[in-house]
Amino acid sequence: MFDDAPDQAWLQLEQASRRARQHLREALRQAVPAVATAYMTGADALLAELVNAGAETTANELGAPLSPLQQYTTGGPLTFDQAASDLPTVNAAVREAAADLMVDLDGAFTAATARLDRAIREASNQAGFTGLARETLRNAAWNRFLDRGLTIPDNQGRNLQLGSWAEALCETRLTQTATDAYLEFAGQAGIECVVVSVSLERCTICRPWEGRLLATGDDALTAYTRAGGRPVPKGTLATAVAAGLFHPYCRHEVSAWMPGVTALPDRGPDNPGGYAAAQREREIERAIEKWERKADLALTRLDRLSASRRVNEWRAKLTEHRAVASGFLAAAQPAEAPDLAAGLAAIFQSPSTRGADTDRDADFEPGTDAVPSLGVPPAAMLAGGDPPEDVRTLRRLRQAASDAADAFTSNPNLNPDDYLLRMTAVKAQPSRTAVTYQVLDENDDPFGAITVFVTDGGDGPEVTLSAADAYQDYPTFADDVRSLATDFVDAWNASSAASPDERVSTLGVDPAGVLFEGTSRDARAVNYARSVGEQAAEAYADQFGDYVEFDDLTVVGTTTYVDFLHFPDPGDAEPAGRFRIGVTGTSDQAETVEVTYARAVNVGGDDRIDDIAAQFADAWQREVPAGAIGGRGYPVLASDMFGGSLDAVRDGMYALLEEHDYDGFTVEVASAVRTGKRWKVKGDLLVDGVSVGSFERSLEADGDRITVHHDFLSIEPEYHGSGIATSFNRHLTDWYRASGVESIRVYAALEAGGYAWARAEFEWAWESEATKMFAALTQTATAYRSMAAARRRQAAHRDTPPASAADLLARADELEAQAQAAFAFLERVDQTPWGDPNYPQPYDVSEIGRPANATRDQHWIGKETLIATSWHGVKWIND
């Protein structure tokens, strides 16, 4: 039995793995009857053509032996064992094809299941930890697996998605089985040639064979041409297949050529758009499968809701794509192929996507705008009447430029590949602003740049693309960068209808009206407070267009909790979501307005409730008069950020970071954004006006406790060791200390971050991080000792010159000394319990084997271990 509540999530993980295995077995079970069905499909197609051509007697004679197989394929569901044992012995080709497919699928599923087992073990290894540490690590391990999906290695060592691989395999094998059956019965009927169909989704591989006459074999080709048959076949079907016809997902088929009865189809003009549209549709479908898999197997409710929201977003994208591509794709969808597509696509998907919930989502309609808005109008990027060189103007423009990039990159419909846009430069003129963005991949590696102009030529502000290209080392990404840039510009121009100050709207209702501190709590006061809540809801609906209703209020001490309901349509009988706003202060003066919770009423019922709640709280918070902020020599303190005016706090953050006297560099803030009880500030570090690094910091409040997260800090390699990072972090740490910040949290992983944060005397965030690092140190020390032994053997070899042997022995002694220092350190670890003041910390690891006068470019065992191993750290500021 598990000893505490958090391990209930582990039970969910086990249940999820069982569901995954059931999906695997179900897909494998379908293989045998699927081959039989494919065979029947090919045979039936030929027999139907014979009937249509008037040869009904011949068709009946040929089809008579197929009766047992027909009954088998139209019967009820079979168990795994029955599927193979009950297959009628109609034709050896059916049984042989089914066996081949079974073997391939079984091998693939065996390999994939092994990977599933490894993922489960990786997640289960976290079960010994406690509290949030265990829950976080377990979920992270499982989510990494779900992101990858179930994969198998191919012959070239690549990891392929099992669902896509199996579907492609089955598509190919079953198409081949159906074609073989068709040709088998065509040969029995004396048919020598077939015609390849014409498809709107043709590709360059199939185009040469479309609408062409092909002989069923070499003998048939010889007989047909000798008899003077016309038109002359382009070749044999085997030749066309070898050249790529009937590739996976090919939409072509063949039909019997009966001279005087059938005619060659019109090949029509080339239609590259049809193939591109089909490929895009499959890409979207793969994204839907991915998020359905994550929704089904998520360990937490939050992850499940998030994945369900992404499923709906991608389904909307699929609906939009089909509407746009309707001119390229066939008007009628092809009948469902008798293959494994449904079963194999179901691997790791939620059962609800195949049942009643599918019908519920079938009517999901995307937004009316073809291009979603970013919520940041182009007008916000113009200086207007403000001096373009003024620092406050530039700050406002940088904030707007960063907000637009964040809105674009966070929208999966606009940015399905999860690329990042990082604003790097803003240059303003009276009627034109140029903005440059760096394009980064999902690993935060830059591979291109985009520059846009925002101008006002008299017809209103407009965003135009100036330049977009990949960096020299990434030429293959050029099309991606240009496509991303075009989508970004289109989305930004679609935001023109928004009011320039829409993001800073207020409700015009004083939140102090719902407070009772300093006044009586009689019926009259309560009714007044309720009316204020109703007014706030009406004002929000008028300002932002989302219909909310006041529900109730609860008073606890100096805080009033106000509940609101969200209705997507004012006529809805039931709300889709609810949220609670906590207002703290007195009846004369409110101090803070914040979101307490926001949740959907039904799973997947309200995927915007978090954004609506945060927007409501921000708008109501703006009614709180700006009080005095700052102190202790700083323009703003961390405690001011969660109760003061948004604009005043933002100005204070600009002053704090940009107006400090650093040594040899400056700081430029790109944006400062508040969401609920969390602030995120990001910007650039500049030398002589040129960015040499970037940073991202978050501050989070939990009651009176404030925690800072050092999310990101990257310095160009040529500036490593220049003191920029040290000076920047020292300034912020002094501010944290003066602000009463409790702790700083880091994830030491990027570049030399593992070593840098250790030298900055960060401690282990929890014991598991120390255990992981010490295990890595053990491996490194063992490797050092092995390298030392290898160098001694090489030095002792009779062919090694004396001078080289001396160098090898000296290096072996160095390596052995480093290994001994590490093992001595590990003995100290074994003798010191976690929580002891003398327990070894990351700084102690950095000192292992460190030379007395170490330089920045030198390496030693402690440094190498820290650089190679990621870890979570904490520094206590005011504990």
Summarised one tens digit per residue, pLDDT across range 81-119 is 455 555 555 456 666 666 666 666 666 666 665 666 666
Q: Is the pLDDT of residue 177 over 70?
A: yes
**How far apart are the C-alpha atoms of 787 and 278, rounded to whole Å?**
55
Name the β-bridge partners of 579: 564, 598
Q: What pLDDT was estimated at residue 335?
A: 35
Strand order in the sheet with 432-440: 420-429, 432-440, 446-456, 461-470
**How far apart are the C-alpha atoms of 399 and 382, rounded to whole Å?**
12
Q: Is the pLDDT of residue 407 over 80?
A: yes
CA distances (Å), origin 112, targets 98, 234, 370? 21, 43, 40
pLDDT band at 144 (very low <50, low <70, confident <90, very high): low
Find which of 126-130, 552-556, 606-610, 749-753 is predicted with most confidence, using mean pLDDT: 552-556
CB atoms within 10 A of CB 394: 20
Average of per-residue pLDDT across 445-468: 87
Q: Is the pLDDT of residue 164 over 70?
A: no
**How far apart are the C-alpha atoms of 370 and 378, rounded to whole Å?**
18
CB atoms within 10 A of CB 80: 14
CA angle 574, 578, 584 (to 5 degrees): 145
Peptide bond into 231 cis (omega under 30): yes
In this structure, what token pair is assigned to residue 287?
Answer: 């994204």
Summarised one tens digit per residue, pLDDT across range 680-706 is 999 999 999 899 999 999 999 887 889
Q: What pLDDT was estimated at residue 131?
A: 45
**How far apart are the C-alpha atoms of 42 and 473, rounded to whole Å?**
50
Q: Is the pLDDT of residue 503 over 80?
A: no
Q: Is the pLDDT of residue 120 over 80?
A: no
The answer to whether 511 and 590 have CB atoms below 8 angstroms apart is yes
pLDDT band at 80 (very low <50, low <70, confident <90, very high): very low
Q: Is the pLDDT of residue 151 over 70?
A: no
Nearest residue to 186 (alpha-carbon basis) of 92, 256, 264, 97: 256
In this structure, what token pair is assigned to residue 302?
Answer: 């939050």
Find which of 42-46, 210-214, 765-769 is predicted with most confidence, using mean pLDDT: 765-769
Q: Which region among 56-65, 263-272, 334-343, 752-761 has the lowest average model confidence (pLDDT)?
A: 334-343
Summarised one tens digit per residue, pLDDT across range 352-404 is 332 333 332 333 233 334 566 787 889 889 988 888 888 889 999 999 999 89
Q: Is the pLDDT of residue 246 over 50?
A: yes
More confident residue, 532 or 184: 532
The answer to whether 563 and 553 have CB atoms below 8 angstroms apart is yes
In this structure, what token pair is assigned to residue 695?
Answer: 């940073």
Summarised one tens digit per residue, pLDDT across range 415-446 is 887 888 999 999 999 889 999 999 987 667 78
Interacting residues of 493 by C-beta distance below 8 A, sequence separation 6+: 371, 378, 462, 463
The answer to whether 258 and 193 have CB atoms below 8 angstroms apart is no
Q: What pLDDT was estimated at residue 91?
A: 55
**Predicted TM-score (pTM) of this structure:** 0.52
